[in-house]
Structure 1
Amino acid sequence: MPAKPKWEQLADHLRNQIESGELAPGAKLPSTSQLTKEHGVSAIVVRQAIFKLRTEGLIEGVQGVGVFVVEH
């Protein structure tokens, strides 16, 4: 079985943090530049992971402010 793409691995990591409560509802996610440094990936990888989580309804972006965990 081939390894998951990096964006999918990052999405899984962030999803696990959200589901475990490490990133609580209303919490702001680290910036794209922080995530690129922490995970050793490109900004495109981070954007793809964020897009995936947004389509799952786990996070939402606020223009000019950041990306936040959605309150359910």
Structure 2
Amino acid sequence: MPAKPKWERIADEIRGKIESGELASGAQLPSTAQLRAEYGVSAGVVRQAILVLQTQGLVEGVHGVGVFVSES
């Protein structure tokens, strides 16, 4: 079985934090730069992970402000 892409592993980890309540409704996610440093990946990988979470309705981006956990 092939390894999951990096963006998918990041999305899974953030999704788990949202589902467990570690990241509460309305909480701001770390910045792209912080996530890049934490996971050792490019900005594109972080953006792909966030895009997947946005598509699933778990997070919302606010232009120029950040990405937040969607209100439940």
**Pairwise TM-score range, normalised by the shorter structure:** over 0.9
Which TM-score applies when normalising by structure 2?
0.98
Unaligned ranges ≥5, structure 1: none
Aligned equivalent of 1:11: 11
Q: Which amino acid aligns with 1:32?
A: T
> What's the RMSD between the two structures over aligned residues?
0.4
Alignment deviations for residues 20-68 of structure 1 (CA, whole Å, 9 cap, x no partner)? 0010000000000000001111100000000000000000000111000
Which TM-score applies when normalising by structure 1?
0.98
Alignment deviations for residues 3-23 of structure 1 (CA, whole Å, 9 cap, x no partner)? 000000000000001000010
Unaligned ranges ≥5, structure 2: none
Runs of 4+ in 1 over 2 A off after TM superposition: none
Indicate whether 1:45 and 2:45 are aligned: yes
Alignment of 1:26-65 (within 5 A): 26-65=26-65
